[in-house]
Amino acid sequence: MRENIDDLILGVDLGGTKILTVVTNPQGEILSRDHSVTPAQKGKEAVIQSILESAHRAMRQAGVDISDLIVVGVGAPGLINSEAGILLTSPNLPGWRDVPLRDTIQEKLGKKTFLINDANAAALGEFYFGAARGSRNFIYITISTGIGGGIVIDGKIYSGAIGAAGEVGHMTIDDDGPICNCGNRGCWETLASGTALAREARHRIEEGMRTSILEYAEGDVGKVTARVIQDAAERGDSLAKELIGRTGYYLGVGLANLINIFNPELIVIGGGLSNIGDMLFEPAFKVAGERAYKQAFQAMRFTSAGLGRNSGVLGAAVFALQEMKRQNP
């Protein structure tokens, strides 16, 4: 084992498609990093086993043992009751309902563990180590498989009555829109996420629209992803550009809602779809500026997440450290 070990934390970012695990210190310096695929379709036992395996790989890479860690922090998607350590439900993890994830991980690893919503964790990560340092009132959104959000008010995560606040991806944008995994219709993430972009592209292709998108998907409509559409758009495909613009439009509608409701000084945007850049954000910011109160829009700014994919995992780690200190002052 390592000698002269600082206070070390194991941070886990559980997503619908990936598990990211790090060993880090309280300053956000990452000693090791393990990335693996979430076996979501195999059920919660398989996912939990994958989390444990990822944790042990990250510890081996860092040259530490579980006894060298002071605490474990887990960020997970969906409605989370952090006080009880329960994942209430998750649209991106089929079959997960009232899962005592905190206590399960704590029992399996033998180390005090805390649980937080993944987007709230990412907001904390950006607040302490990333693009939101110095901001007291901001919103973090992640645009990827779905859309998640973390709301920071006066320097603290706003978690709501049962810890379920910040589910911005499930505000209704179109009351006659696509059915969401959450059971609602026309949620923001059904119209402005990477999943939504790919779904609309596949629909257009199946309708017979002429496009080169399929060429970037090996001729298989089932392999059309947001990344494939981005590649086609960057090479001038008109349908791909149209679809990204459409996604940007709906992204902007949701941003306007957030600006009018919360009057933030900053909105930090992360997630894989944000890598598209100006092609997505120019229409989004244009629509947000047209639909939000002018004064509130002018008083805030947009910025990209400073930590990239590490926002959530570092936030989960710092949350766990804070909670441990709160419980043991």
Whether 13 and 118 map to the same domain: the answer is yes
User: Considering only CA atoms, which of 167, 166, 152, 170 is closest in space to residue 318?
Assistant: 152
Same domain, 271 and 153: yes
Tell me the one-letter amino acid at 249.
Y
In a domain, 3, yes or no: no
In a domain, 244, yes or no: yes
* Contact (CB, 8 A) for 55 and 19: no
- Mean pLDDT, consecutive 10-residue stretches, the chain (329 aa), reads 68 93 96 95 95 98 96 94 92 90 97 95 96 96 92 93 89 96 94 97 95 93 96 97 98 98 97 94 98 98 94 96 89
User: Is 2 domain-assigned?
Assistant: no
Residue 1 included in any domain? no
* Other beta carbons within 10 Å of 166: 24
- Examine the domain organization and report whether 215 and 321 are in the same domain: no
Same domain, 263 and 322: no
Q: Do 37 and 55 reside in the same domain of the chain? A: yes
At 94, the amino acid letter reads: P
With respect to residue 196, please indicate whether it lies within any of the assigned structural domains. yes
Would residue 146 count as lying in a domain? yes
Judgement on whether residues 198 and 253 belong to the same structural domain of the protein? yes
Q: Are residues 42 and 183 in the same domain?
A: no
**150 part of a folded domain:** yes
List of residues 6+ apart from 160 with CB closer than 8 A: 166
Q: What pLDDT is recorded for position 76?
A: 94
The confidence score (pLDDT) of residue 162 equals: 82
Sheet of 8-14, strand order: 30-37, 18-24, 8-14, 69-76, 113-117
Ramachandran quadrant class, 106 (left: phi over 0; alpha: psi -120 to 50; beta: rest): alpha
The pLDDT value recorded for residue 5 is: 52
Distance linking the first and last C-alpha atoms of the chain: 29
- In this prediction, residue 222 carries a pLDDT of 94
Question: Domain tally for the chain?
Answer: 2
pLDDT at 1: 42
Q: Which long-range contacts (CB under 8 A, 24 or more apart) does 174-180 make?
A: 180/91
Question: Is-contact 203 215, C-beta < 8 A?
Answer: no
CA 37 to chain CA centroid, nearest Å = 15
Q: CATH number of the domain that 272 lies in?
A: 3.30.420.40
Amino acid at 3: E
Same domain, 323 and 240: no
**Residue 128, domain member (yes or no):** no
Residue 162 shares a structural domain with residue 294 = yes
Do 80 and 179 share a structural domain? no
In this structure, are 111 and 214 located in the same domain?
no
Same domain (yes/no): 30, 42: yes
Neighbouring CB atoms inside 10 A of 129's CB total 20
Range of the domain at 209: 134-305
Residues in the chain: 329
Q: Dihedral angle at the C-alpha atoms of 223, 19, 278, 248, nearest 10 degrees?
A: 70
Left if phi > 0, otherwise alpha if psi is -120 to 50, otherwise beta: which for 216? Answer: alpha
